[in-house]
Each structure stands twice: as structure tokens, then as C-alpha cells.
Amino acid sequence: MSDAPRKLFFRNTSNQPQQTPVAKQVNEQPNQETNVQPINQTKDLSQIGLDVVQPGEVSLQQTNVVCFNGVQQFYGLLVATNYQIVFSPQRFPTDFRKDYFQIPYTFLIKVDRSIDKKQNDSNILELSSKDGRQLRYRFQREQSDDCACLFNLINKNAYTLQKTTLFAFTFYKEMQNLENEFQGWKIYNIEKDFERMGVLIQQESQQQQMNVLYKYLNNEGGQICATYYNRLIVPAKVDMDCIQKTAKFRSKERIPILSYAFQVNGKMVSLWRSAQCRIGIGQIRSLEDELYLKQMSQQMVDEAENVQEEIRLKIFDARSDVNSIGQQVSGKGFENPMYYKNCSIEFLEIQSIHKMRESQMKLLKNSFSETISFISQLEISQWYEHIVLLIQGAVRISLSLTKEKLNVLVHCNDGWDKTPQLVSLVQIMIDGYYRTFDGFMMLIQKEWINNGHQFCQRSAIGNRQHSDDCRSPIFFQFLDCVYQMQQLYPLSFEFNVKLLLDLAYHHISSLFGSFLCDSFLEIQKQKVMESTVSIWSWMMKQKEKYRNAYYLNPASIEQEVIIPEQFTGKSVKLWQEYFLNYSPEFNDVYGIHPSSQFTRDNLQEMYKALAKENQVLRLAQLDQEKLAHLNQQKFNQLFQIIQESQNEKIIEKLESIQLT
């Protein structure tokens, strides 16, 4: 690496007069009118001594710098590619992960440039990553132009508002065959999903049928709700006028839609999701919304009118009651059981997205801290208090469905943050299919991507406002909850922790198109499916990597339903593979951990080989037993013939022979 040219793509300043530094202040913002323009010359990474990290990735600029990481410093080559910032130390530390110095542009949450007067006016470039890494690069005084050019290049690539300039579109040009082979964008089929559940659903073109509870609703072009999938499932008996008025009464027009259902003793138990209603301080009513929820509560086609007013539909509001009441000031709120007959409401006390963001930032900062107060700081972050509340909330919903046999509606504010967290966890708990490799992919595609989780806003892709209120680790928090379930039920998941780690990384890496948009409609308008690779295609190609060696089919362990009813703070485990991923204390220099835990090659393949060898030995033993038995029969026959001949000498010799 040290032999690489120092300024391959930068202007040569060695023969030019000394120029004044670009700025003398900390936290410089990119100047759009600066004369220093990014150089568009490119070069293959392999030609400058670096391995090509991703197909289609090329070097844009490079220079030699000093990299600081806490108290350590490294000399090496800093390369800006069209996908990420890569630093290659002259001597790579053995206790560091190989990707420690690789930061994709969309990982960057903050980019600062400053002048260090104590170091002879050297330029400092500081990068802050969304996974907690913070790296500082020092440029010599004569490299001021290089630093300014690189600073502008990073900002241009990290904070682009045009999705088509993200690396996912370049990656597709090189990996189009991968998408064509595995068809990851087509992994979810709503009809097949509900057919598997055993749910009968009326088609959009069919007339009203008397034997169905649900029907498909055409939402093409977002005609009902712009942030939902293009096909929805709603109660069969509600007409279009009722649906449209219900949409106006729900935040963001996110009406209640069916997520899951199962049949018990001839009744359909169903799980629904929506946004909050617009009830306001004045307790405004919507007769159409009340009728809509009444139809949702039905579990049989010919169900009689409930004169006893027993609870048939339980509403779980993910927020606290205080927060829900506060929403009434802005014209929203929650369902009043006085108006919604046969309904009850419970509050799950889950905190806002802002609390989640603050909590994760504290935990990530603590993960990279050199202090010994890790445990106390972990508690102060309150991250796992939020995890416990989420899992406990999913448990309460699951018990209402499976034990009380009640239909359930889940919502939060707009129904795209805590709502998909909860309904996804519930389906994982009560249906073993969603704990398989294929089922888990379909679940994320269905509840998160298709039904409008705001991946772009929550991950702050292309957003330079590092303190933006819209940013929050909602999807990552869901993955941590799944990790907790894996630790509790290690036999019940077909996939291992590596799948969760790759999802945690790539939902903000911009390598795939799956997580670039805020809704399915935006995916369609931006032609993302036609121009990017789905992450599911990439994962399906390396399915064996994600296989859990300990997985047992639910039928074989009689645990189709896994509901951790006693889940508390004592049940949680720190997700070390993620939070301590770049910590030298956790790094396995021998490579034992990644090559042995939850892998197919070291357990299942060994088991198969031993089983095969045992079978061969068993067959050989059976053959020997058969041969011995046959020889004994022949010997007995011969002995009988000789006895009949009355030859005493031969008989005496044969009696002395022992056949073995």
C-alpha cells in the first residue's frame, strides 16, 4: 500500500506556490461556490493496491493521510470510491476487523473539516458513522487542496437528494444477472401468503360473496392510501364510500388492513394494522370508521348481532396513554370505547422514535468508549428497556390472539414505526413459517417495505441534518428484538444471527434498492425495482451462510407458537455481534466465532458425514451377520450328512471344529 502513488487523482501542488488554507474554522460546511471541483477521473481499485469491495466500485480520489481512532493513529492511503470511503493502513492492526476502515457514504451522519493550528495548520477531516465509528484524518498543510476536494466529494456522494445517484444503481449494472436469477423483488405474493394461512379472500372483480369475511382492495397508484401496498385486504362488507370516509378519518389515510389471520374451531382470528384516528379534543366521531371496526370484529360469516356487548376487538395503542391524549391537541388521538362498541383499548407505553434515537446514540457511543464503565452506561442508555417493552407488547398481542381468541388492531401515530415492529414480532411468535429463511424475508417485504415504513427518512439516507427528528433506528430495533427471540428459542429459527447482521448493515448501505424509499408507491415511481438489486436476491444466493445448524422444524419440537410470557429485563442479552462488532476486545483473532457458531458446514455436515459412515458400518455388520448365519446353516447340513454316513473318525474331527 505504501508504494501507491500519493496524488494520483489530485492536482500536483508540489510545484505551485503555497496557497492559503480553505478555512480556519471548525465544522466547515461544503462551499458550493468554491473553485475546488471534484475530479471525475476514475480508476480500478485493484490498480492502486486495494481489493474491489463491490462490483462496479472504482476509485475517484486518493491521498496519503494519518488516521486517528481514539488514542491510536495509523499511516496509510485514503481512497474515495463511488460507494464508500476506504482507508488502508500501511500496517493493518491484527485486532481490527478488515472492514473497520470502510464506511459507505450513506453511513455518514456527519462530515466536518477543520484546521489544527497546533499541528502546523494541518487539515482535519472528521467522519461520524451511523454505527458509532468516528474516524479523523489529518492532511499536511500542503495538502489543503486535496482535503477540500475530498471534503466536497464526500458531501456530494453522502448527501445526495437524487436516489438514482446512489451506488445501488451502479451495482445493478454489474449484478443484473443476480436479480434475474433469484427475482428478489417478486418474493412476496399477497395471495399465496394468505392462501397458506387458510384465509378465503374475495377478489376485487368479484361480486359480494356471502361466505367470505375479507376482500382485496385495489390501491394502485395510492388511490386510497399513498403509503400502503398496491393491494390491501379489508372487511368484505364495507363499501367504497365507507372505506374512503374511514381513510379521511385515519392519519395519512392509513386505514385498518389485514396483516394475518388463522382459523380456530370454525372462527377466523385476525390481526390488523392502521394509523391513529382523527378524533381530536372535540371527540369527533366517524360512523363509517366505527362501522369499519365493527366489521373487523367479526369472526364468522353468519355471526349474529352481539347483544351482550362482549369484547370482540381489542385495540392495542403502542403509545402511552399520556402521549395518545396529547395527540388530540393536533386533531388526532385514539378510539373511544364509548363509540366503538365491542371494542377495548390498551396502551403499550412504548416511547417515541426520538427516545429510540437518543438511546441508540448513547449505546453506540459507549460501545466505542475506552472507559471501564460500559455496564453502567449500557443501563443509562435505556436501549434494552425499549426492547423489553416492545417484546412484552408483542406478547400481550399474541396472547390476545391465541388464548383469548380476540381480533386485534395495532396502531401508533402513523402506523409505520412501532406498528410494523409489533405486528412482525407477533407473526414470528405465533407462526413458525415466519421463522424460516423464506418466511422472514417475506415478512419484512410485506410489513415493512410494501406497507410504508419510511426507510429513507428513518435511516437519513441523503440527509445532511445529523440531528434530524425524522431519523430513528426503528428497523434495527426490530432486528434486535428478533435477536432476543433467537437467544430464547435457538431451535426455532431456520436462520442465524448473520442474517440479522447483514440486514442491520445493508438497510443503510445503499447497496440494494430494497431500503431506499419510504413507500411502495415511491419504489414504483423511482423505478427502483427495474434498476436495483433486491437484497433478497443477494441473500438467496448465499442461503447456506445464514442457515442455523440447530434449527428443528416446529412440528418436531411441538413449538409452533413461541410466546415468551415471562420476558423481563433479566431475559435480554447484549447484541455483541453488532454493538461490539468493531471493538478489539470482542474481535476473535483466531476466526473461531464466525467459522463455528450457527454454521452448517461444521455441525450439520459433520453430522451427516458421521450418520453416513455409521450407516455404512451398520450395513457391513448386517452383511457379516448374514454371512455367518449362512455359513452356520451350511455347516449344520454337512454335519448331518456325515452323521448319517456313520463315519466315526470324520464325526469326531468335525465336533472339534468351532465355527466363528
243: cell is 372505506
- Outline where 71-225 has alpha helix (H): 144-158, 167-182, 190-197
Please give the backbone phi and psi of residue 178, each rounded to the nearest 5 degrees, phi first: -65, -45
- The pairing of beta strand 343-347 with beta strand 313-317: parallel
* Secondary structure (H, E, C), 381-450: HCHHHHHHHHHHHHHHHHHHHHCCCCEEEEECCCCCCHHHHHHHHHHHHHCHHHHCHHHHHHHHHHHHHH
Q: What is the rounded CA–CA span in Å between residue 531 and residue 162? A: 14
For every residue of 447-486, which 3-state class applies, written as one string? HHHHCCCCHHHHCCCCCCCCCCCCCCCHHHHHHHHHHHHH
Q: Cβ–Cβ contacts within 10 Å for residue 646, how many?
A: 8
The kind and range of the H/E element at 644 are helix 605-645
Q: Identify the burial level of 305 via C-beta atoms within 10 angstroms of its C-beta, where 0-12 means exposed, 13-18 middle and 19 or more buried.
A: exposed
Is residue 545 within 8 Å of 602, Cβ to Cβ?
no
601-630: b (≥16 Cβ within 10 Å) or e: eebbeeeeeeeeeeeeeeeeeeeeeeeeee
Q: What is the DSSP letter of 547?
A: B
Q: What are the C-alpha distances in Å from 247 to residues 254, 280, 350, 393?
A: 6, 16, 25, 26
* Pairwise CA distance, residues 310 & 344, whole Å: 10
Instruction: Please identify which residue in the block is written with the cell numbers 434495527.
Output: 476
Tell me which of 242, 412, 456, 517 is the catalytic residue: 412
Question: CA 164, 168, 171, 176: dihedral to nearest 10 degrees?
Answer: -90
CB of 54 within 8 A of CB of 45? no
Whether 412 is catalytic is yes
3-state secondary structure (DSSP) of residue 143:
helix
Tell me the residue type at 84: Q
How far is Cα 102 from Cα 85, in angstroms, rounded to an integer? 6
Catalytically annotated residues? 412
